[in-house]
Amino acid sequence: MADPVTRVGLVGGGQMGAGILEVNARAGLEVVCVEVSAHAARSAEQRLTASLERAVSRGKLDAEDRDDALARVRFEIDLHALAGCDLVIEAASEDEALKLDLFGRIGRLLDEDAVLVSNTSSIPIVKLGAASGRADRVMGVHFFNPAPVMQLVELIPSLTTSPQTLDAMRSYVSERLGKQPIEATDRAGFVVNSLLVPYLLSAIRMFEAGYASAADIDKGMVMGCGHPMGPLTLSDLIGLDTVRAIGASMYGEFKEPLYSPPPLLDRMVEAGLLGKKAGHGFFRYADA
Ligand code: 3HC
């Protein structure tokens, strides 16, 4: 990629996608967000507007900057709207088949020197690169939830990513977005989820075994270790479907039992108890 990023495409405006959208729009970048339907696009727009509104009401953003950020964002339902972007960030569900299909389709639409990245937390980047037909210009750029607040971004080059692509993403993340990058090898979980996910799954197993209540497990880690939230609240924030999907990918790669999603997590996902976004997970949420 020859020039700095100015026009960003974002695929998926869900919980993480909307946060990434906000980060880019507030950094002054033009963003086109592609969703699967008009309904999903409206939900993405509502998420973005509500988050910007919250920043205004807390005195973190003035009304003019909110309006400018909103004016830089466009919502579309056709992947062809990504043509002409210098950078496309895929933030669809953590589903390997879906992502491989998207990378194949998006890879064909982009200009020669555009970069295509995934916000995946556990799917092999090298496979996404191969599917895209532009493997040297594909890598992982992994944000953390809530993206407007969390400062870290993991950069994951694959075996086929070019050094120029990694350099371009390093500058985009640190200079353009003002975030803190760390680099990790292309193995499921990268740095943070390799450490975080077995901890979250252990807390779920502890609750499943009746060892302690959900509230006490969380209180233990908040009051005993100074974490901002306990592991069950954090699992609810991330989304139990996402926690399960990441655990399953990591287990698939390493066959490490600590990464294997426990039966209670499977049952909760099957029941639609997906955490905060569904209003109910290990805890109940009034404002979902
Ligand atoms: N969007 C935007 N801003 C938000 C937000 C959101 N969803 N949630 C909270 N904030 C902002 C608030 O506006 C506030 O900003 P201010 O201090 O500038 O006014 C600040 O964050 C603190 O918010 P609150 O006072 O409402 O609440 P807390 O102090 O409890 O903080 C939290 C909320 C930032 C979410 C904090 O509890 C926290 O850091 N939790 C841990 C989050 C975490 O570990 N994330 C990583 C998950 S792993 C991941 O994402 C990887 C993936 O692959 C699974």
Q: Give the SS3 label for residue 243.
A: helix
Give the tens place of pLDDT for each residue, 154-196.
Answer: 999 999 999 999 999 999 999 999 999 999 999 999 999 999 9
Q: Provide the CATH number for the domain around residue 236.
A: 1.10.1040.10
36 lines ligand 1 (CB under 6 A): no
Ligand 1, atom 30, residue with closest C-alpha: 228
The residue segments making up the domain with residue 227 are 194-278
Exposed, middle or buried, 104 (CB in 10 Å: 0-12/13-18/19+)?
A: middle
Please state whether beta strands 115-118 and 138-143 pair in parallel, antiparallel, or not at all (unpaired). Answer: parallel
Q: Are residues 252 and 176 in the same domain?
A: no
- Cα(237) to centroid(ligand 1), Å: 9
* pTM for this entry: 0.94
Q: Are residues 158 and 261 in the same domain?
A: no
pLDDT over 80 at 288, yes or no: no
- Cα(30) to centroid(ligand 1), Å: 25
> Which own/partner contact pairs does 46-53 have at CB distance under 8 Å and 24+ positions apart?
47/13, 47/15, 47/18, 48/13, 48/18, 48/21, 48/22, 48/73, 51/18, 51/19, 51/22, 51/148, 52/22
Q: Provide the CATH number for the domain around residue 66.
A: 3.40.50.720
Q: Domain count of the chain?
A: 2
Q: Are residues 263 and 177 in the same domain?
A: no
Partners of 75 in the beta sheet? 33
149 lines ligand 1 (CB under 6 A): yes
Give the tens place of pLDDT for each residue, 201-247.
Answer: 999 999 999 999 999 999 999 999 999 999 999 999 999 999 999 99
Give the tens place of pLDDT for each residue, 41-97.
Answer: 999 999 999 999 999 999 999 999 999 999 999 999 999 999 999 999 999 998 999
Q: How many residues does the chain have?
A: 288
Is the CB of residue 243 less than 8 Å from the CB of residue 186? no
Q: Are residues 92 and 176 in the same domain?
A: yes
Q: Could you say which of 159, 183, 207 is where a domain stops? A: 183
Distance between CA atoms of 189 and 191, rounded to whole angstroms? 6
Give the tens place of pLDDT for each residue, 204-214.
Answer: 999 999 999 99
Partners of 88 in the beta sheet? 9, 116
Q: Are residues 25 and 155 in the same domain?
A: yes
